[in-house]
Chain A
């Protein structure tokens, strides 16, 4: 029987839709740890990137942090976190937060630092204080890139969370790792489909959110964002 029809049968089997190893439970695990990692990463990374971009300082650091992030082998980082922190969600969370930070720092830095100096001067001339200028002028203009950073991080965190199964974590990676271990290629392929779909869904839903959040006045500039945003892949 072909792989595709076997995978179809796997998905049709109600046993795979309930219990601790069921798809709903694994989905919740995968999304929970990813969302927590991106949220914690954002709380750390966005203020740093925004501050560096606003003051236009340490641009090299902000750009190069993505390069360092790319150089980190996610597999090694996860396993080392596991050896340091032991079993449970904590090592996964720590490793994913570490991988979530770089693209958000770089992209929010680029977004803020590219705000037209004339616009900033005009804001000053209109009497905006520094904080108001940052919040009401610079940040709205930087939303496309800030959001691109969050989206890039989120997609990579979802992808990397798959590897958590290697250190006894949950999530969809469980099916892939167990499939390899048990030489159950149907389970393996089904897990792969689930992971791929979840990564796409993350990408699409955050792109949609990005479109909603971008202020109407600057939507025309949306096209070049894709190419200015930092590409990032860790898993």
Chain B
């Protein structure tokens, strides 16, 4: 790498000539980063929507579900990955168990907040209009819970994009791989560029989700927490 032989060589924060010849490296890293993120958020939604609805319907489930995922959420990702490695090995499965587990807490919690904030009058009105439970859920409760669900998806996405970098330690990492490379080779460019790209990716994803929310549910003005 650039330093080494010449002791007075100062590694710049971004070596633009190196960067311009290594663009494909960053493109591949961003691709992996986004793939891991999309799987985590989509998997999280696939688990948390039925789980959240069940927890809303059967109150006895609510606290155990939240408590379980609260515990999972509290476990530091590096520790969770390390605990899973003997069973699921280094790779995507280990990474996604952790990442999906973390998104589920955020998504279930927001789904429940959304469903629980539907005014009782609205439910009464829906019942009075003859809605069956399933139709009421699909056509009244879930649409009203959408702003909270969107807020959850935003938080889950931004959080996951940050966490993916840590999966570099189990052989993945997306942009985290380049951060790791910068650390190991003591070379600033991949490290700085990958960190900036990771932040940019999170902020752009957040803005896109805000845009999607405005399109999908124009009556809400994005309320995230």
A residues contacting B by CB (< 8 A) are 3, 63, 67-68, 70-77, 79-80, 82-83, 110, 155, 158-160, 162-163, 166-167, 173, 176-177, 179-180, 185, 188-189, 191-193, 195-196, 199-200, 203, 226-228, 230-235
Contacts and interface: CB of A to CB of B under 8 A. Distances in A.
Contacts of B17: none
B82 A67 contact: no
Contacts of B191: 76, 79-80, 83
Contacts of A235: 76-78, 163, 166
Contacts of A196: 74-76, 79-80, 83
A179 B166 CA distance: 16
Nearest to B188: A83
A162 B76 contact: yes
Given A185-B85, A191-B82, A192-B82, A79 B106 contact: no
B74 A199 contact: yes
Contacts of A70: 155, 158-159, 162, 202
A72 B199 contact: yes
Q: How large is the interface on B (under 10, 10 to 19, 20 to 34, 35 or more residues)?
A: 35 or more
Please provide the 6 A-B residue pairs with the shortest distance between their CB atoms, ordered closest to farther. A76-B195, A159-B76, A71-B202, A192-B82, A192-B79, A73-B165
Interface string B70-108: 010111111110110111000000000000001001100
Given A3-B87, A185-B86, 7 more contacts: A67-B154, A73-B165, A75-B168, A75-B180, A79-B183, A155-B74, A227-B113
Given A67-B158, A67-B224, A73 B78 contact: no
Contacts of B155: 67, 70, 231
Contacts of A185: 85-86
Contacts of B82: 176, 179-180, 188-189, 191-192
B20 interface: no
A192 B75 CA distance: 9
Contacts of A72: 162, 199
A180 B182 CA distance: 18
Interface string B162-190: 11011011000001100110110010100
17 contacts: A73-B162, A73-B175, A75-B179, A76-B179, A76-B194, A83-B188, A160-B76, A162-B76, A163-B78, A166-B169, A180-B169, A192-B79, A192-B80, A196-B75, A200-B71, A233-B159, A234-B163
Given A73-B175, A189-B82, A80 B195 contact: yes
B76 to A, nearest CB: 3
A192 B112 CA distance: 31
A226 B191 CA distance: 36
Contacts of B66: 226
Interface-central residue, B76, B80, B180, by most chain A CB under 10 Å: B76
B195 A233 contact: no
Contacts of A232: 159
A52 B87 CA distance: 48
Contacts of A228: 225
A196 B191 CA distance: 28
Nearest to A2: B86
A180 B84 CA distance: 13
Given A70-B159, A80-B191, A200-B71, A195 B76 contact: yes
Contact of A167 (B112, B161, B183): B183
A166 B181 CA distance: 12
Nearest to B164: A73
Nearest to A202: B74
A200 B70 CA distance: 10
Contact of A193 (B83, B109, B202): B83
Given A188-B82, A195-B78, A233 B199 contact: no
A15 to B, nearest CB: 21
